[in-house]
């Protein structure tokens, strides 16, 4: 049997607590995650946003044991998926969890399905791996779930190879595969980035509808705030391996607190008045082998003061709404000297 987790996290689909992780390299460790905490309640839909390389995918891949073995080191924290501590699991235990309790839908549908195996076989392989089902049963389950993804003639599609399907169709198959064993948690890692805009909305609705109907928790990972904002109950904003802000989607979008979140939102065309120039965040994401002192966003931040350059701010605030910034919320007195460069 599976190792049972602590009782208090039973109500949680996913509980990542103070997870720190680094990738050792010859020239030093890259601190990819620093004290990341993410909680997803049962049936909740949560978004993680941030620029490329800020650790969104690393967080969820570490939680599901999908990072390449031996290439990373967890330096602290814990991960529980429905109470089971996945960091302590060996590969064979993880294989029981993946697909059954938590499934991941990846980006790039081009190559995410095996090119030499028929769609039906790829689906039934997963179903028969986790369910006590005969091949006939598995094919029926696969057909039903494909139909649920609004794929016409599922029977015919199951006999096709991935290259015979469009990108949107392949993505639907992947979503069907993720839902096929009714996992309690779905991680959608940039599920629509490779698709064109008209298909994107349809695909996202498919995931959302199915999840709402079955009470499945979902984590949407995206660099596109606009995409995530329409779907999620809560948002986490990540920057350089740290969570900088989290809260209910509406509050975060309507009243962003962290300068990074504010800057991110100012980059969205739909939030800027016509003819007004779009803003870009100057500078680049810091090198995590030699991160800046203090707040990681401080070198790019217009509001940085001395304190920001010397000490890292922690996430502060009530559970529902937290921000990690010296210039917001509670913290040591901020001296105005040296602010606003």
Contact positions vs another protein (CB under 8 A): 64, 66, 91, 94-100, 103-104, 106, 108, 110-118, 125-126, 129-130, 161, 163-164, 174, 177-178
Shortest spacing between CB 116 and another protein, in angstroms: 5
183 near 99, Cβ under 8 Å?
yes
Nearer to another protein, 114 or 134 (CB): 114
The closest of 212, 213, 184 to 81, measured between CA atoms, is 184
Nearer to another protein, 17 or 130 (CB): 130
Nearer to another protein, 149 or 252 (CB): 149
Shortest spacing between CB 243 and another protein, in angstroms: 23
Nearer to another protein, 130 or 321 (CB): 130
The closest of 46, 52, 61 to 13, measured between CA atoms, is 46
Q: What phi and psi values does residue 318 have, to the nearest 5 degrees?
A: -70, 160
Shortest spacing between CB 309 and another protein, in angstroms: 39
Nearer to another protein, 80 or 170 (CB): 170
Residue 4 CB burial class (10 angstroms; 0-12, 13-18, ≥19) = exposed
Shortest spacing between CB 111 and another protein, in angstroms: 4
Shortest spacing between CB 189 and another protein, in angstroms: 9
Shortest spacing between CB 53 and another protein, in angstroms: 18
Nearer to another protein, 108 or 148 (CB): 108
| Residue 241: both structure tokens together | 């391996």
Nearer to another protein, 64 or 222 (CB): 64
> Cβ neighbours of residue 268 under 8 Å, at least 6 residues apart?
225, 226
Shortest spacing between CB 1 and another protein, in angstroms: 16
C-alpha to C-alpha distance for 264 and 305, rounded to whole angstroms: 20
Place of tokens 């940085």: 304
Nearer to another protein, 129 or 309 (CB): 129
Residue 158 CB burial class (10 angstroms; 0-12, 13-18, ≥19) = buried
Shortest spacing between CB 129 and another protein, in angstroms: 6
Strand runs (DSSP E) across the chain, as ranges?
12-25, 28-41, 45-49, 73-81, 84-85, 102-105, 185-189, 217-222, 234-239, 242-248, 322-323
C-alpha to C-alpha distance for 268 and 55, rounded to whole angstroms: 21
b/e string for 280-313 if b means 16 or more Cβ within 10 A? ebeeebbebeebbebbbbbbbbebbbebbbeebb
Shortest spacing between CB 114 and another protein, in angstroms: 4
Nearer to another protein, 49 or 178 (CB): 178
C-alpha to C-alpha distance for 317 and 308, rounded to whole angstroms: 18
The closest of 341, 334, 277, 331 to 303, measured between CA atoms, is 341
């Amino acid at each position: 049997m599976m190792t049972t987790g602590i009782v208090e996290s039973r109500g949680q689909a996913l509980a990542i607590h103070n997870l720190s992780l680094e990738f050792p390299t010859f020239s030093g460790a890259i601190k990819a995650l620093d004290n990341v905490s993410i909680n997803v309640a049962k049936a909740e839909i949560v978004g993680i946003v941030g620029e490329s390389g800020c650790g969104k995918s690393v967080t969820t891949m570490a939680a599901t044991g999908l990072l390449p073995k031996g290439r990373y080191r967890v330096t602290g924290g814990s991960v529980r998926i429905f109470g089971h501590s996945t960091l302590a699991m060996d590969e064979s235990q993880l294989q029981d969890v993946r697909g059954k309790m938590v499934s991941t839908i990846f980006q790039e549908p081009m190559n995410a399905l095996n090119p030499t195996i028929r769609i039906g076989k790829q689906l039934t392989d997963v179903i028969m791996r986790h369910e006590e089902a005969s091949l006939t049963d598995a094919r029926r389950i696969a057909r039903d779930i494909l139909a649920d993804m609004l794929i016409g003639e599922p029977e015919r599609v199951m006999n096709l190879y991935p290259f015979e399907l469009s990108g949107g169709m392949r993505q639907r198959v992947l979503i069907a595969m993720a839902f096929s064993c009714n996992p309690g948690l779905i991680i959608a890692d940039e599920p629509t980035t490779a698709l064109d805009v008209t298909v994107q909305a349809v695909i996202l609705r498919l995931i959302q509808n199915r999840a709402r109907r079955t009470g499945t928790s979902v984590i949407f990972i995206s660099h596109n705030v606009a995409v995530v904002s329409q779907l999620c109950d809560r948002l986490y904003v990540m920057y350089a391996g740290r969570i900088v802000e989290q809260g209910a989607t509406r509050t975060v979008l309507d009243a962003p607190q962290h300068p990074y979140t504010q800057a991110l939102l100012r980059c969205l065309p739909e939030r800027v008045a016509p003819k007004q120039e779009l803003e870009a965040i100057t500078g680049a994401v810091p090198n995590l082998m030699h991160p800046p002192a203090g707040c990681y966003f401080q070198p790019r931040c217009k509001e940085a003061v001395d304190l920001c350059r010397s000490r890292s701010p922690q996430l502060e605030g009530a559970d529902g709404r937290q921000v990690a910034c010296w210039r917001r919320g509670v913290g040591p007195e901020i001296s105005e000297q040296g602010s606003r460069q």
